[in-house]
């Protein structure tokens, strides 16, 4: 399946490691050059804003989806290809899933974890079959990967979670996997 659009889930803060911002810039640029539309949360802060700005600067298309409640909180991006405002977080997440062919998870906080696990759960339940890619910048997600392995080893997983979540240590590895 050709990947035309990816939903990117990531932090609305830049994080403590400057590599997070650098990876977001690199990914935004590479996705634009590849002609892949970025669908994301619509904010202009943190690595969320960084990836959108990098994609736009490289001539790419970026669709932001933001609920009314977060318009001020996330400092909505005013220079996007398209900005969709939803009534609720649930409506936002549904559109984020519907508008993509795959999802990419960059470092982030609780919102990113919520979106990652909902994507994986929906995938596990057969609601969608979209591949999910996890960028494990400098081992950011090592503890999460260990937890998922423990959940599997303790008999709480229905199938091989590693077939649903492609873990990559570099932006280039994700770009190669998208091909």
pTM of the model: 0.95
pLDDT-above-70 percentage for the chain: 98
CATH class of 5-178: alpha beta
Residue pair 77/52 in contact (Cβ under 8 Å)? The answer is yes
Asked if the model's pLDDT at residue 3 lies above 90, the reply is yes
Mean pLDDT of the chain: 94
What would the two tokens of residue 112 be?
């990113």
Position 157 pLDDT exceeds 70: yes
**Edge-to-edge strand list for the sheet holding 131-135:** 82-86, 62-67, 37-40, 5-9, 102-105, 131-135, 165-168
CB 65 within 8 A of CB 74: no
Q: Provide the pLDDT for residue 145.
A: 97
Domain boundaries, the chain: 5-178
Tens digit of pLDDT for each residue in 29-55?
A: 999 999 999 999 999 999 999 999 999
Residue 74, C-beta contacts closer than 8 angstroms, at least 6 positions apart: 12, 41, 42, 43, 44, 45, 48, 66
DSSP 36: P
Q: Number of C-alpha atoms within 13 angstroms, CB side, residue 6?
A: 32
pLDDT over 90 at 134, yes or no:
yes
CA distance 108 to 149: 20
pLDDT digits (tens, 9 = 90+) for 68-95: 988 766 678 889 999 999 999 999 999 9
pLDDT of residue 74: 61
- Tokens representing 162 are 């590693």
The whole-number pLDDT of residue 176 equals 95
- State the pLDDT at residue 72: 66
Which of the 8 DSSP states describes residue 43?
Answer: B
Residue 125 tokens read as 């339940």
The backbone region for 138, taken as left when phi is positive above 0, alpha when psi lies in -120 to 50, beta otherwise, is left
Q: What is the pLDDT of residue 33?
A: 97
Of residues 72 and 11, which shows the higher confidence score? 11
Assigned token pair, 3: 């990947």
Question: What proportion of the chain, given as a percentage, has pLDDT over 90?
Answer: 84
Structure tokens at 132: 């999910």
Q: Which two tokens stand for residue 34?
A: 């590849």
């Amino acid at each position: 399946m050709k990947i035309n659009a990816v939903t990117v889930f990531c932090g609305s803060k830049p994080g403590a490691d400057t590599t997070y911002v650098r990876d977001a810039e690199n990914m935004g640029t590479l996705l634009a050059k590849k002609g892949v539309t970025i669908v994301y949360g619509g904010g202009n802060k943190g690595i969320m804003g960084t990836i959108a700005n990098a994609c736009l600067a490289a001539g790419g298309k970026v669709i932001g989806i933001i609920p009314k409640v977060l318009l001020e909180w996330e400092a909505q991006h005013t220079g996007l290809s398209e900005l969709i405002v939803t009534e609720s977080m649930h409506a936002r997440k549904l559109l984020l899933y519907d508008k993509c062919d795959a999802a990419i998870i960059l470092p982030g906080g609780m919102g990113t974890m919520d979106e990652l696990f909902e994507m994986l759960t929906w995938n596990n339940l057969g609601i969608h079959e979209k591949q999910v890619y996890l960028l494990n910048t400098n081992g950011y997600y090592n503890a999460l990967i260990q937890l998922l392995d423990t959940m599997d080893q303790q008999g709480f997983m229905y199938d091989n979670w590693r077939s649903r979540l492609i873990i990559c240590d570099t932006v280039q590895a994700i770009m190669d996997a998208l091909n």
